[in-house]
Amino acid sequence: MKSTFAKVGAGFLLGATAIAGVATAANSDPVGVKACADKRTQALYLSTNGTCSSARTLVTLGGSSIDVKTIAALVTPSVVSIEVTSADGSGTGSGSIYQTSATSSFIITNNHVVESAATNGTITVELLNGDTYPATIVGRDSTYDIAVIKVDKGNLPVITIGDSTKLSVGDPVVAIGSPLGLASTVTSGIVSALNRPVTTGTTGAESYVDAIQTDAAINPGNSGGALLDSAGKIVGVNSAIATLSSGSTSGSIGLGFSIPINEAKRVIDELIATGKSTRPVLGIYFDNSYSGIGAKISKLSPGEGAEKAGIPVGSVIRSIDGVKIADQIGAIVRIRSYAPGSTIKVVVDLPDGGQKSFSVVLGSAQSN
């Protein structure tokens, strides 16, 4: 039976188009993060070598359970509030401190949080202690809804990067951000689904996300904030929620979506290095009139991976690396979850009958 979907809203963290997908599971890493708790203040500090000074107690975050209070104390200094003012108006979002030096720091967020200030406008970052700093855009990618901004303030606490491929459905997670401008808001929940195809944005400027779905409460303003695993490591960049009322700004109904950090990290690193980013290319055009299960190929791009692999025009993509493809959106989202140059297994229904598996090397193109 074909999976169906309903348009449940429009906009980033003001609603998203959520399309049914297939969740995959993997075992969670049982090893937690080592931290040092100050015996006097109870403040937490990351332990780089698994030991602490005599004034601090070694603690382990993560494992089979989740300590939201401890994670919040450890991670909130690495999550910032973002205010954007432009000719189009003002808005707020969230971000995570990704890299820092003695003089400056890079912060990751969503493209839709800062795009209105790309040509004219101002971006202000507020730290946990209330200090504010002007920020500039380093680079942004609307295709993945990722952006990197920079502040001239160094030696800030960076967030610890996790591994989103090790998440399983049912794993506990924590979301930190600034919903409705309320800085350092902490909520918790579970991973509700993985590999959930989600598209957001306006026609012609869509972002496609192979999303982590969570029931942790996230609301407008959480955009760009952190989704954390039980060890307090970032595993997702919160990007969108589904709403029941089209065009409204109603809040969380337990359907939140995050960009997996493994998918986002490649884009983030490229933006920091060059100000630009790339996306993978299969080298096909879809038949938009096709209404059956899967994604039908109407045309091939000369010299790209699909043509080289021998996939015939008229084939219908049924799965990619074992993940079932319900429709065109699902195919696009799944393809874009890979890095350029990756080799993927594409199973198609052939136009003359039968089914065949093809090994395809993805090409590369510059993202928008």
227 and 309 housed in the same domain: no
Question: What's the confidence (pLDDT) of residue 7?
Answer: 31
Q: What is the CATH number of the domain that holds 309?
A: 2.30.42.10
CB 143 within 8 A of CB 336: yes
87 and 229 housed in the same domain: yes
Average confidence score pLDDT of the chain: 84
Question: What's the confidence (pLDDT) of residue 65?
Answer: 60
CB 139 within 8 A of CB 271: yes
Is 314 a domain residue? yes
308 and 237 housed in the same domain: no
Q: What is the CATH number of the domain that holds 20?
A: 2.40.10.120
- For the chain, how many structural domains are there in total? 2
Question: What's the confidence (pLDDT) of residue 247?
Answer: 52
Is 57 a domain residue? no
272 and 284 housed in the same domain: no
User: Residue 9 — very low, low, confident or very high, per pLDDT cuts 50/70/90?
Assistant: very low
Task: Name the active-site residue from 112, 188, 192, 277.
Answer: 112
Note down the domain range covering 110.
1-30+63-276
128 and 267 housed in the same domain: yes
Provide the whole-model pTM. 0.79
148 and 297 housed in the same domain: no
Is 46 a domain residue? no
Question: What's the confidence (pLDDT) of residue 222?
Answer: 87
103 versus 25: the higher-pLDDT residue is 103
Is 255 a domain residue? yes
Map residue 248 onto helix, strand or coil.
Answer: coil
12 and 112 housed in the same domain: yes
50-101 confidence digits (pLDDT tens): 788 888 877 766 554 678 888 888 899 999 999 999 887 788 899 999 999 9
Is 318 a domain residue? yes
From 247, 276, 305, give the residue that closes a domain.
Answer: 276
Task: Name the active-site residue from 67, 145, 210, 229.
Answer: 145
200 and 318 housed in the same domain: no
Is 45 a domain residue? no
φ/ψ (deg, to 5) at 321: 50, 40
From 222, 243, 276, give the residue that closes a domain.
Answer: 276
- Residue 250 appears among annotated catalytic residues: no
From 242, 276, 310, give the residue that closes a domain.
Answer: 276
208 and 196 housed in the same domain: yes
The terminus-to-terminus CA distance of the chain in angstroms comes to 35
Is 55 a domain residue? no
Q: What is the per-residue DSSP string for 24-84?
A: ---PPP---EEEEEETTT--EEE-SSS---TTEEEEEE-SSS--HHHHHHHHGGGEEEEEE
- Residue 298 appears among annotated catalytic residues: no
Burial of 163 from C-beta contacts in 10 A (0-12 / 13-18 / 19+): middle
- Residue 145 appears among annotated catalytic residues: yes
Task: Name the active-site residue from 192, 223, 230, 239.
Answer: 223
264 and 324 housed in the same domain: no
12 and 99 housed in the same domain: yes
Kindly state the tokens that stand for 55. Answer: 């004034």
169-212 confidence digits (pLDDT tens): 999 999 999 888 788 889 999 999 998 888 876 666 678 888 99
Does 115 have pLDDT greater than 80?
A: yes
CB 358 within 8 A of CB 304: no
187 and 234 housed in the same domain: yes
Is 160 a domain residue? yes
Does 272 have pLDDT greater than 50?
A: yes
